[in-house]
Structure 1
Amino acid sequence: MADLFADDPPPAPREEDERPDAPLADRLRPRGLTDVIGQDHLTGPTGAIGRMVAAGRLSSMILWGPPGTGKTSIARLLAAAVGMRYISVSAVFSGVADLKKAFAEAEVARRAGQRTLLFVDEIHRFNRAQQDGFLPFVERGTVTLVGATTENPSFELNAALLSRAQVLILHRLDAAALGQLIDRAEELEGPLPLTPDAKEALIASADGDGRFLLNQAETLYAANIADPLDPAQLGQFLQRRVAVYDKDREGHYNLISALHKSLRGSDPQAALYYMARMLTAGEEPLYVLRRLTRFASEDIGLADPQALTQCLAARDAYQFLGSPEGEVAIAQACLYCATAPKSNAVYTAQKAAWRSAKETGSLMPPQNILNAPTKLMKDIGYGKGYSYDHDAEDGFSGDNYWPEDMQPQDFYAPVERGFERQIRERMDWWDRKRRERNGLR
């Protein structure tokens, strides 16, 4: 089949296109896949969608991306591009009866030789049982499923459904793509009443959401503003978009991962930025403090023992002061952790020791280090031969403390950074003394 992108014909005019009072975002909807902005990695001739359209056959897919990036438009245009029936349902407003009706209509159409594209918006809002209901109709080819979601499909969609659909990721619209949307709006409605700097501020305020940007532009057009607004005046006129951040969703995990890895990578500027992203979007400050405290033990440990103290002190300060004053203490702990020497030796030792404890079961410690509170226990050898370290030369006896049936293990290996360098020197001294006391070199 010839490349459908070469002369991608617009679909038939839609009712909302012909209404001058339709929302600006509707009037500017793309009429062909080549009009979709910011998703060339999918819709271009070499993209996954581009190749499917060129071949004239679609497979089921999940369109995953932030709000306002074109998921609905792409689904509608896909059906038109390959000549399929288009049915749209929303998981927010549709139930089982709506789905049964859609599947029944699609089955009738299939028998008549007509393929059906079923677009399911917010597909992640269907529960697991409802998602399973799609499977037989997808497998039989009754429908080609195109689902749209703003949430990570790995968390929100059944594995069986994911195995039958490609997951295609839509990008957040960058400044260039949002600028193209503004250009299209101005071609239709005329220049926005903004200075160049204010126009850039408007684009930044959209946070990658094209629909939000066009709705803001429409508000400006409707206000009949005589003189162009500068950035400060625009900020007073429009409420800035709140950053997308669902505390129990992927945005939460993405930012905490970015914070943790920035801390581990000793980049205090990036760590402070991601922490600010979380707190300004409404994350619970005590959650951030818990993550910093965990980091202080897991990634710093004894390379700088003060890191844990700093985090616990920041918790106390925040609980004492509250917001916003207490957030300075959280920032202090964040910066301390980011700039501290790093070591995961304590974390690694803890995991290794736990694993060894599970594997060795209930081996008895050597009798010489067992307490003997009764005469019977003394008679059978408990505590016999114990060397009190404080009575020994250098305060170190060099005794064996491992079970008789277990070789000594090395769990903790301090690194040559920060305070752990001194700990390594101490451990080396004890090892050397232990070998000397046992007649070893």
Structure 2
Amino acid sequence: MSDLFDTEDQASEPAPNRPLADRLRPQALSEVIGQQQVLGPEAPLGVMLASGSLSSLIFWGPPGVGKTTIARLLAKETDLHFEQISAIFTGVPDLKKVFEAAKLRRRNGKGTLLFVDEIHRFNKAQQDGFLPHMEDGTILLVGATTENPSFELNAAVLSRAQVLVLERLDLTDLERLTQRAEKELGKALPLAPAARDALQEMADGDGRALLNLIEQIAAWSVDAPLDPDALAKRLMRRAAKYDKSGDEHYNLISALHKSVRGSDPDAALYWFARMLTGGEDPRYLARRITRMAVEDIGLADPQAQSICLHAWEVYERLGSPEGELALAQAVVYLALAPKSNGAYVGYKAAMRLAKQSGSEPPPKHILNAPTGLMKDQGYGAGYAYDHDAEDGFSGQNYFPETMKRPVLYQPVERGFERELKKRLDYFSKLRSQRKGS
């Protein structure tokens, strides 16, 4: 949870007037709720603290999971001066002052833990500016980001820092936080058990958001515990975290795609709805759904592509929200359709082979000979016209003469591809017979 006040402000201001999130800020790492995957005895931070060797860190996780609090407590446990800046409000002159102060502090025997909130907001040059001060020990950098560090941070910074993933708080964590808040407030929340569960669902894994909601509820005067409906009327439900250009965008479309591939229409509809409620462009979803039909269903159900294209067209004609139902129907159809990536795999194999084989020409017998010179060179010589064959199949070779015949397309025993496999096997058998004779 982010730090809202300096220590001096906390000391001077009466505790009841401070925000609940500030009053409940842990005073030791053992008081932090959740994040045992990084704080436990055998977890990265636990091991570092036990060995007395703390390295630069990048905390990657959603809002309200304790990134700032953990950084502050790390400084306290390692006797480092805690310096906090935000990449949103800090420019190059400000950074120079921070580094100069850290150098002076170091000469006086005191190290500095520099906590950089939203570190991904710094550009490449600004990020590079941290490197010499990290390397000479002037600062121990702890950065916090809600974005994927692999995409947002320089490789040089990442090579000098360990990335630790902080997770959204689960319902057990949020219940513990609720109980801690009630103890601080000196009273229980006026909520029925189902409403208490609904409140924690509203927080969406964000501890700070939960405490802000609890602070609102604690100020209400009610005659009886509220049920979920009464709570919903008094509180605006928190919008789900969704960034149409960030990690959540890619995570959710991946979840939708894999649910379709896994033939789970309920899960597919859920992730489809999650993206729509997050504000995703339905046209993007229409495009990705059509891609699923091509990539994961293919010729096992050739109709799947047409259904996706028709759903896309319906959306364009009806718009939102009516047109989104057509896209939802396409999602359900794809999830229940037989699956095959045979054509997709065959296409990729053909692309690899095309790159490897360079400029191999087609065999001369399938080349046209519009000029006498080309005919003299053997173009078209020996070509067998398939329609003249008794079964409409000549069995000739159509690959470059120096290439061993590859197998690129391998249909599966599902859906319409079962029929295509029969045809492929039939032609393979005829080809072997023609070659033998």
After TM superposition, is the score higher than 0.5?
Answer: yes
CA–CA distance in structure 1, aligned partners of residues 13 and 372 of structure 2: 97
Over 3 Å counting, the alpha-carbon distance change for 1:16 and 1:433 in structure 2 is farther
- 2-structure distance, mates of 1:378, 1:56: 83
Structure 2 counterpart of 1:309, one-letter code: S
Give the C-alpha shift of residue 112 in structure 1.
Answer: 1.0
Q: Deviations over 1:27-63 (max 9, x none)?
A: 1111111111112222233332223233343211111
CA contact (8 A) 1:174 1:208 kept: yes
Unaligned runs of 5+ in 2: 1-6
Partner of 1:340: 337
Distance 1:380 1:352 in 2: 32
- Out of 349, 352, 362, the position equivalent to 1:352 is 349
- SS of the residue corresponding to residue 233 of structure 1 reads helix
Q: Secondary structure at the match of 1:395?
A: coil
Q: Paired residue for 1:3? A: none
Pick one of 295, 300, 305 that aligns with 1:298.
Answer: 295
- The secondary structure found in structure 2 opposite 1:393 is coil
C-alpha deviation, 1:17, in angstroms: 6.9
**Which residue, 408, 415, 430 being the options, matches 1:433?**
430
CA contact (8 A) 1:85 1:117 kept: yes
Per-residue CA deviation, residues 42-92 of structure 1 (Å, 9 max, x unaligned), is 223333222323334321111111100011111111111121111110111
**What code does the residue aligned with 1:414 have?**
P
Alpha-carbon shift at residue 178 of structure 1 (Å): 0.8
Residues 342 and 393 from structure 1, CA distance in 2 versus in 1: closer, same or farther, beyond 3 angstroms? same
Q: CA deviation at 1:148?
A: 0.9
1:254-275 residue CA offsets vs partner (Å, 9 max, x unmatched): 1112222222222222222222
CA distance in 2, matches of 1:229, 1:317: 43
1:157 to 153, 159, 177: 153
Determine whether 1:369 maps to 2:366: yes
Alignment of 1:221-260 (within 5 A): 221-260=218-257
- Which is further off, 410-419 or 66-75? 410-419
Partners of 1:16 and 1:22 within 8 A in 2: no
Distance apart, 1:325 and its partner CA: 1.4
Percent of matched pairs sharing the same residue: 60
Instruction: Tell me which amino acid in the other structure corresponds to 1:341.
Output: P
- The match for 1:217 among 198, 214, 232 is 214
**Residue 326 of structure 2 corresponds to which residue in structure 1?**
329
SS of the residue corresponding to residue 402 of structure 2 reads: coil
Q: AA paired with 1:195?
A: A
- Cα offset for 1:380? 4.6
Question: What is the alpha-carbon distance in structure 2 between the residues aligned to residue 142 and residue 18 of structure 1?
Answer: 36
Q: Is 1:23 the counterpart of 2:19 in the alignment?
A: yes
Partners of 1:17 and 1:27 within 8 A in 2: no
Match of residue 127 from structure 2: 131
User: What's the secondary structure of 2:84's corresponding residue?
Assistant: strand
CA distance in structure 2 between the aligned counterparts of 1:49 and 1:14, rounded to whole angstroms: 27
Moved more, 425-434 or 184-193: 184-193
Q: Which position in structure 2 is the counterpart of 1:79?
A: 75
Matched, 1:205 2:202: yes
Pick from 308, 313, 329: which aligns with 2:310?
A: 313
| Residue from 386, 389, 392 that aligns with 1:389 | 386
Structure 1: give runs of 5+ residues left out of the alignment: 1-10
CA apart distance, 1:435:
2.1
- Tell me the CA shift for residue 12 of structure 1: 9.7
Change (3 A) 1:392 1:322: same
Q: CA RMSD in A?
A: 2.0
Which of 57, 61, 75 aligns to 1:61? It is: 57
Query: In structure 1, what is the Cα distance between the partners aligned to 2:39 and 2:170?
Result: 16
Cα pair 1:17 1:26 within 8 Å, conserved: no
One-letter amino acid matched to 2:326: A
Q: Which residue of 1 aligns with 2:395?
A: 398
Aligned with 2:167: secondary structure? coil
Query: What letter is aligned with 1:122?
Result: E
CA distance in structure 2 between the partners assigned to 1:54 and 1:18 by the alignment = 36
**TM-score, with length taken from structure 1:** 0.92
Given the superposition, is the C-alpha separation of residues 114 and 381 from structure 1 closer, same or farther in structure 2, using an over 3 Å criterion? same
Using the alignment, how far apart are the partners of 1:62 and 1:322 within structure 2? Answer: 43
C-alpha separation in 1, matches of 2:359 and 2:47:
62
> Which is worse superposed, 227-236 or 154-163?
227-236
1:171 correspondence with 2:167: yes
Provide the TM-score with structure 2 as the length reference: 0.93
In 2, distance between residues paired with 1:39 and 1:435? Answer: 63
With over 3 angstroms needed to count, the CA separation of the structure-2 counterparts of 1:323 and 1:200, relative to structure 1, is same
The structural deviation recorded for 1:379 is: 5.3
Say which SS state the counterpart of residue 92 (structure 1) adopts.
Answer: coil
CA contact (8 A) 1:41 1:47 kept: yes
Relative distance call for 1:220 and 1:412 in structure 2 (3 A) is same
The farther-off stretch of 15-24 and 305-314 is: 15-24
Residue deviations 1:313-361, cap 9 Å, x none? 2111211221111112211211222222222111111111112222223
Q: How many residues align?
A: 430
> How far apart are residue 13 of structure 1 and its match?
9.6
Taking the aligned partners of 1:395 and 1:353, their CA distance within structure 2 comes to 26
CA–CA distance in structure 2, aligned partners of residues 32 and 386 of structure 1: 84
Partner of 1:47: 43
Matching residue of 2:278: 281
Match of 1:6 in 2: none
Aligned to 2:3: none
Measure how far apart 1:19 and its partner are: 3.7
Q: Match for 1:253: what amino acid?
A: Y
- For the residues of structure 2 that align with 1:353 and 1:46, how far apart are their CA atoms? 48
